[in-house]
């Protein structure tokens, strides 16, 4: 940390308060200033003593420090010379190899760096580790936290609240909390994927997602139930018992093998799959298992339409763009900086579609390829 730069920002902040203060206005406490600027008590006290020497403030025992009546505050510089102090942003990410999370944070870093803001990225392995890391950090104007499919504990939120004026969560995981959440509700993309397949003649469609109870995918399951009630389609849910950062595609293949008949045919002609991190690997594994796409199985992915690692330049993908999530996170934080009294909200990313080659019109003459059982 550049202590000299930080103490200069503290001096500038106090000078600005002195210019705008009315007689009797109270200074922030020493502890508040230490937390905000990440400096020691000695540095804060030195800055306040400088104000006292200039006759700008006075201390009252038991009450605090106040701006004096008739104090000769320094004049404000010309408007053209004034520049807003740079904001500080903490990016807190769980250290796993999810490409989407890496791309999102790099995009946020670029946005804030272009605006002259200060950004610190910190990785953590679990909530307890994150709390330990946070203890040694200064105060930030905003913090963005990525949980990447793991629980954000109440204790971690409390630790973030102590360190950050604004908290934004990457993902629509928290509702009704004093955080800005930006993420995806997967019910609408699922409905669009099913409709796309229906228009191609498919009537038996499966939807695969993790068995972990994520809010976003649970909303998709509710949408699946609603689509079933409409009739005209046979819709099947497939639970994948792991997370996308694990061997998710391998677990999905095993679930498909368990559903295949003796002739290796699946009880559906199309699959909508959420949670695929490596589209090229999924395509290869499906072919090896006896279900080449789209000859034997049409597939639509629920994911990010602007990530090549997911759609692999091949899969039709319905979901969202990481670029849109970056913009919405940036906008949500900026809006709260501008108006701290505004209601907290869950910001849902617009649905996007990328058409690929993984969907074919339904045909009864699907090749009967015996799936490998290894």
Q: For residue range 285-309, what is the model confidence (pLDDT) as tens digits? A: 999 999 999 999 999 999 999 999 9
pLDDT at 192: 97
Examine the pLDDT at 332 and tell me if it is beyond 90.
Answer: yes
Torsion of CA 179, 182, 185, 186, to 10 degrees: -130
pLDDT of residue 62: 60
Closest CA to 298 of 318, 283, 313, 277: 283
Binned at pLDDT 50, 70 and 90, residue 373 comes out as very low
Q: At what angle do helices 322-338 and 99-114 cross, to 10 degrees?
A: 40
Question: What does pLDDT average to over the chain?
Answer: 86
Tell me, what's the pLDDT at 89? 95
Q: Alpha-carbon Rg of the chain, whole angstroms?
A: 27
Q: Are 275 and 174 in contact (CB under 8 A)?
A: no
CATH architecture assigned to 88-183+323-350:
3-Layer(aba) Sandwich (3.40)
pLDDT of residue 55: 81
Q: Is the pLDDT of residue 334 over 50?
A: yes
Would you tell me how many other CB atoms lie within 10 Å of the CB of residue 205? 22
Phi, psi of 144 (to 5 degrees): -115, 125
123 vs 172: which has the higher pLDDT: 123
What band does 3 get if pLDDT is binned at 50, 70 and 90? very low
- Could you tell me which of 13, 63, 64 has the C-alpha nearest to residue 34? 13
Quick one: tokens of 290?
A: 């006896």
Q: Do domains 3-74 and 187-321 have the same CATH topology?
A: no
Tell me, what's the pLDDT at 342?
87
pLDDT score recorded for residue 191: 97
Q: What are the CA-CA distances from residue 193 to residues 44, 245, 362, 370 (Å)?
A: 58, 23, 15, 27
Q: Rounded to whole angstroms, how far apart are CA atoms 273 and 193?
A: 10
* Least confidently predicted of 185-189, 193-197, 199-203, 340-344: 340-344
Report the C-alpha gap between 207 and 264 in whole angstroms: 19
Q: What is the pLDDT of residue 76?
A: 46
- Average pLDDT on 59-78 reads 61
Q: What is the pLDDT of residue 1?
A: 44
Question: Would you list the domain boundaries of the chain?
Answer: 3-74, 88-183+323-350, 187-321
Listed range (2-6, 81-85, 239-243, 321-325) with the worst mean pLDDT: 2-6
Confidence bin at 69 (pLDDT 50/70/90): low
Any idea how long the chain is?
Answer: 374
Q: Which CATH superfamily is domain 187-321 in?
A: Response regulator (3.40.50.2300)
* Cα–Cα dist 188/124, whole Å: 32
Question: Quick check: helix, strand or coil at residue 100?
Answer: helix
Q: Give the residue-averaged pLDDT of 16-38.
A: 78
Confidence of residue 63 (pLDDT cuts 50, 70, 90): low
Q: What is the DSSP letter of 26?
A: B
What are residue 32's phi and psi, to 5 degrees?
Answer: -65, -40
- Per-residue pLDDT averaged across 319-344, rounded? 92
pLDDT(7) > 70:
no
Show the tokens assigned to 339: 């108006």
Tell me the per-residue pLDDT of 116-147, one tens digit each, with 9 for 90 and over: 999 999 999 888 999 999 998 999 999 999 88
User: Alpha-carbon distance 45 to 48, whole Å?
Assistant: 5
The dotted CATH code for 3-74 is 1.10.10.10
- Angle subtended at Cα 121 by Cα 108 and Cα 111, rounded to the nearest 5 degrees: 20
Choice between 114 and 318, residue whose per-residue pLDDT is larger = 318
**Contacting residues for 187 by C-beta, under 8 A, at least 6 apart:** 219, 220, 222, 223
- What pLDDT digit, counting tens, does each position of 221-280 carry? 999 999 999 989 999 999 999 988 889 999 999 999 999 988 889 999 999 999 999 999
Average of per-residue pLDDT across 108-112: 93
pLDDT, average across residues 90-114: 89
Q: How far apart are CA 71 and CA 55, in angstroms?
A: 6
Number of other CB atoms surrounding residue 278 within 10 Å: 16
Neighbour tally for 219: CB within 10 Å: 17
């Amino acid at each position: 940390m550049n202590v000299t730069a930080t103490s200069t920002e503290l001096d500038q902040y106090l000078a600005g308060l002195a210019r705008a203060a009315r007689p009797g206005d109270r200074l922030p406490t020493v502890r508040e200033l230490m937390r905000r600027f990440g400096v020691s008590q000695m540095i804060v006290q030195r800055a306040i003593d400088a104000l006292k020497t200039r006759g700008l403030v006075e201390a009252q025992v038991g009450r605090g420090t106040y701006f004096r009546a008739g104090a000769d505050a320094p004049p404000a510089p010309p408007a053209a010379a004034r520049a807003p102090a740079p904001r500080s942003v903490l990016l807190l990410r769980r250290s796993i190899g999810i490409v989407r999370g890496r791309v999102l944070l790099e995009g946020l870093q670029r946005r804030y760096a272009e605006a002259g803001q200060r950004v610190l990225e910190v990785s953590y392995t679990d909530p307890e580790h994150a709390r330990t890391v946070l203890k040694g950090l200064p105060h930030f104007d905003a913090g963005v936290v990525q949980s990447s499919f793991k629980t954000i504990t109440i204790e971690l939120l409390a630790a973030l609240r102590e360190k950050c004026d604004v908290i934004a969560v990457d993902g629509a995981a928290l509702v009704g909390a004093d955080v800005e959440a930006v993420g995806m509700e997967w019910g609408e993309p699922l409905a669009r994927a099913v409709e796309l397949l229906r228009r191609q003649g498919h009537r038996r469609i499966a939807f695969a997602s993790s068995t972990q109870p994520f809010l976003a995918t649970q909303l998709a399951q509710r949408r699946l139930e609603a689509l079933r009630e409409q009739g005209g389609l046979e819709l099947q849910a497939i639970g994948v018992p792991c997370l996308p950062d694990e061997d998710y595609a391998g677990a999905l293949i095993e679930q498909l093998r368990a559903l295949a008949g003796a002739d290796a045919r699946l009880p559906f002609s199309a699959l909508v799959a959420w949670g695929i991190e490596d589209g090229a690997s999924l395509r290869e594994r499906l072919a090896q298992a006896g279900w080449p796409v789209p000859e034997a199985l049409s597939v639509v992915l629920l994911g990010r339409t602007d990530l090549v690692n997911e759609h692999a330049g091949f899969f039709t993908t319905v979901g969202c763009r990481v670029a849109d999530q970056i913009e919405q996170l940036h906008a949500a934080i900026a809006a709260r900086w501008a108006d701290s009294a505004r209601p907290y909200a869950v910001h849902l990313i617009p649905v996007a579609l990328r058409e690929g080659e993984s969907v074919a019109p339904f045909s009864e003459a699907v090749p009967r390829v015996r799936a490998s059982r290894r």
